[in-house]
Structure 1
Amino acid sequence: MTGSAGIDVAANRAATKWTRREQAGRVLWALATPFFRLSPRPLWGWRRAMLRAFGATVGRGVHVYPTVRISIPWNLTLCEGCAVGDHAILYALGPITLGLRATVSQYAHLCAGSHDWHAPAMPLTKPPIAIGADVWICADVFVGPGVTVGDGAILGARAVVMRDVDPQCIVAGNPAKHIRSRTK
């Protein structure tokens, strides 16, 4: 079935996007997710252990709130001291790395997956997201696939970040634009 723009929807849907092992892991994670989401808020260690059990690299002192939605934990690297707030989405089809002491505020969405719209079948792509040390991703920010955010940057509330952000920069808006640099 080809759409009006020449998009081969049937080929896209028929394509194998995951290995059998990845599919099995995703099913197991879906079955385990209620134990993650229903855990009391102060049980940081429990959620860290669950993520590690599913292949995530998780540093000491990481705080992941129970309402965080994580698609594929084995694609996550959460460095020491980072935090992921309530209702954030880590759509880790590709690798997502949060640097030392990085903060992802409530309702932020990090999306490490898309489709190659140049190809008629629009195959799935899994570009990585890399968030540097001491970055603050404010509430409701969207970070798109393939974005790298430099150390110490701040992504202002509700920003849509589709391009790399330099270290120590403050960006805001849709699309996100450089507002100013942080002073040390």
Structure 2
Amino acid sequence: MKETNQPGSVRVINLADAPGEKAAWDRPKAQVYLWAIVELLLVTNAWQISSALRIRALRLFGAEIGDGVIFRPRTRVKFPWKLHIGDRSWIGEGVWFHNQDHVFIGSDVVLSQETFLTTGSHAHRRDMALIVRPISIGDGAWVTSRCIVLGGSDVGSSALIQPGTTVQGIVPENTIWGSTDKPGPLGTRFN
């Protein structure tokens, strides 16, 4: 790993040497590129085409999606073969699954508008190698608008994530969780 260091300077990693490019694909290059085209035409675009058509395209590329799921426009899915969604869940407009590892969404889950789920990060101080960890969201949870859910997170059943929250780690079931609040049972008000 070539570093661009001067005496007394902070270590900087030469990104041209960073390992991990394409490490999370798990599929042939042709399939990944074909998915990118299908995603652009049927999933990511803003057209109000049927949710069923989006789901058929995702399933064709290996996504496991239960019955009665609603998949709104402008959604993005990096690797459909690493997406697992239970029955009757709602995926809001603009949700982005940057799923370099598996994402498990339970049944009756709501992921609201512009929520970003990312399973990947990098070994920042070492060599910028790709690090991936799965995400799990339990049955009945609601991740409200513009939240960020990081790899390794586990959102418990019937938890509610408040708007704009970054989730990292474990959210207990049946709690309201927010970036400025302490966790508490559903119905708890925070002052």
TM-score normalised according to structure 1 size: 0.88
Equivalent in 167, 172, 175 of residue 178 of structure 2: 172
Structure 2: gaps spanning 5 or more residues: 5-9
Give the aligned partner of residue 2 of structure 1.
3
Q: Distance in 2 between matches of 1:14 and 1:182?
A: 41
Amino acid at match of 2:186: R
Give secondary structure in 1 for the equivalent of 2:139. Answer: coil
Give the aligned partner of residue 33 of structure 1.
39
Q: Distance in 2 between matches of 1:109 and 1:79?
A: 19
Give the aligned partner of residue 121 of structure 2.
114
Contact 1:169 1:178 in 2 (8 A): no
When Rg is computed on C-alpha atoms for both structures, the one with the higher figure is 2
Give secondary structure in 2 for the equivalent of 1:21. Answer: coil
Moved more, 13-22 or 23-32: 13-22
Q: Distance in 2 between matches of 1:10 and 1:169?
A: 43
Equivalent in 145, 149, 157 of residue 139 of structure 1: 145
Amino acid at match of 1:2: E
1:81-139 Cα distance to aligned partner (Å, 9 max, x none):
11110111111111001100100000111111111235x22211120000000000000
Q: CA RMSD in A?
A: 2.1
Per the TM alignment, residue 163 of structure 1 is displaced from its structure 2 partner at its CA by 1.7
Give secondary structure in 2 for the equivalent of 1:33. Answer: helix
Mapping for residues 76-87 of structure 1, pairs under 5 Å = 76-87=83-94
Give secondary structure in 1 for the equivalent of 2:27. Answer: helix
Give the aligned partner of residue 77 of structure 2.
70
Contact 1:113 1:124 in 2 (8 A): yes
Contact 1:2 1:9 in 2 (8 A): no
Q: Distance in 1 between matches of 2:56 and 2:175?
A: 33
Cα 1:79/1:19, change in 2 over 3 Å: closer
Contact 1:140 1:159 in 2 (8 A): yes
Structure 1: gaps spanning 5 or more residues: none
Q: Distance in 2 between matches of 1:18 and 1:86?
A: 25
**Residue identity (%):** 24
TM-score normalised according to structure 2 size: 0.85
Q: Distance in 1 between matches of 2:86 and 2:58?
A: 13
Mapping for residues 120-131 of structure 1, pairs under 5 Å = 120-131=126-137
Give the aligned partner of residue 152 of structure 1.
158
